[in-house]
Structures are given as structure tokens and as C-alpha cells.
Amino acid sequence: MKREYYKVPENMKGLEAWGFNWLEFVTSIPSPMFLVTTYKSNGKTNACMQSWAAFTTADKGSRFFVILSSVYKGGHFYKTVLEQECAVVNFLSVDLYDKAMATIRNNQWEADELAESGLTAVKAAKVNAPMVEECFMNLECKFFWEKEIVPGDDRVMVCLEVVNVHIDEKHLDNRIEENGMIYNIHHPIHPEKFTGKAHDYIGIVKPIVDTGEY
């Protein structure tokens, strides 16, 4: 039997979830976790952890895009990506998680966020943005468009076009599973039994069925 959810269940009303809608925790749909890097106008590196995103093909299969679906307009990433019209999307394996999270603590405008978090910036080849050397895959991107999901919101969708990809040789055989990309997974709350606080997990991807060749 299935239960339906369209109103906040009584015991989820006090949920403290950093502004996330309660349905994020009822549905618990994982999203890839990555670090987006830009240069600030003072020349310092900016790094922004992101997890609400889609990666998709358009233009009859000829182009590849990143859609960052919830970029906070008050943050440095939004400001810098509009100024520079480019960014790098860096994929990290779980061993880099602490350093990636340190970029959030080192978020001051004057901070060289990558260096101060123990990460190395290298110049991208086709755009004016730093790539994170330690990340196993870097997507060089050009800003394509922005759109508010709800007009006047403090968050906006940002579409970036991928123009160049760097992949560490050690990851050419596999970019998923233990040493591959990580996912943010909201704790799947039981809507009626929930007590306490929401939290998240970090997950990896494990293939279970090969769907066959194209």
C-alpha cells in the first residue's frame, strides 16, 4: 500500500533543514556532489560546493551542459560566474570531502579559498577559471544562461556549457564506485516516525544491472 504526501506531516513541522523543503527528505533523491570554481575580481580563487544539478545533452546531441538548479544569488559563485562568464565543475572522490568542505569555512572574499583549504589551483585550458588539481575530473564550462524557477526567488538555475574535460589517467577505467564521484543523499525520513534532526549521507554509485550496448 502507498501513502500520499502533500502536506507537511505533523511531526516534521519543526524540521530544521537549512531552508530545504520537507519533500526533499520524504523523497530522498540523491544528487552528485562537486566543487565549482571561479576567479573572483581580486584574482583569488572561489570554490562553491554544489549538489543540486543535472548534466544533460542538448542541440540534437551535439552539446553537453551542466544545469546548476539552485544557485544562491547572494553567494560569491553567482557573482563571479556572471562576471567571468565561465567556471570549472570539479568532481571529487570521498577522500577530498574534508578539504572541499573547508572551502565553505574559508569563504571570505579576500580568501584564496582553494589554497587555504589545502587544494591546488591550476589554470584551465579554455576558460579563465581555476581547476582543482586533486579532483579526478574537471569540466571546463562557459556560462550559457540563468533562469529563476520561481520569479523573484533568492536562488536561480544556471546553465553552463561544457567546453573541455580533464580526467586523471587513474580514473579512465572507472569514475564511479569507491574512488569515484560522490553523492549527497538526504536522510530518508519516515514521515510519521520522524523525531530529531535531519541529516545527510555521502554515497557512491554502484552498478547493479548492465543495460546492454547502444
Ligand X SMILES: Cc1cc2nc3c(=O)[nH]c(=O)nc-3n(C[C@H](O)[C@H](O)[C@H](O)COP(=O)(O)O)c2cc1C
Binding site for ligand X (CB under 6 A): 33, 46, 48-52, 70-72, 75-77, 104, 107, 184
Of 20 and 64, CB closest to ligand X: 20
Least distance in angstroms from the C-beta of 143 to ligand X: 15
For residue 52, the minimal CB distance to ligand X (Å) is 4
* Least Cβ distance, residue 4 to ligand X (angstroms): 28
How many CA atoms does the CB half-sphere of 197 hold within 13 Å? Answer: 5
CB of 136 to ligand X, least distance (A): 18
- The angle at the Cα of 204, spanning 103 to 93, to the nearest 5 degrees, equals 40
Residue 180 amino acid letter: G
Q: Which is nearer to ligand X, 150 or 172 (CB)?
A: 150
Which residue's CB atom is positioned nearest to ligand X?
75
Q: ∠ CA 208-212-213 to the nearest 5 degrees?
A: 140
CB of 93 or CB of 192, closer to ligand X: 93
Q: Which among 29, 77, 4, 71 has a CA at the least distance from the CA of 200?
A: 29
Taking the least distance from each CB to ligand X, the nearer of 49 and 115 is 49
- CB of 129 within 8 A of CB of 87? yes
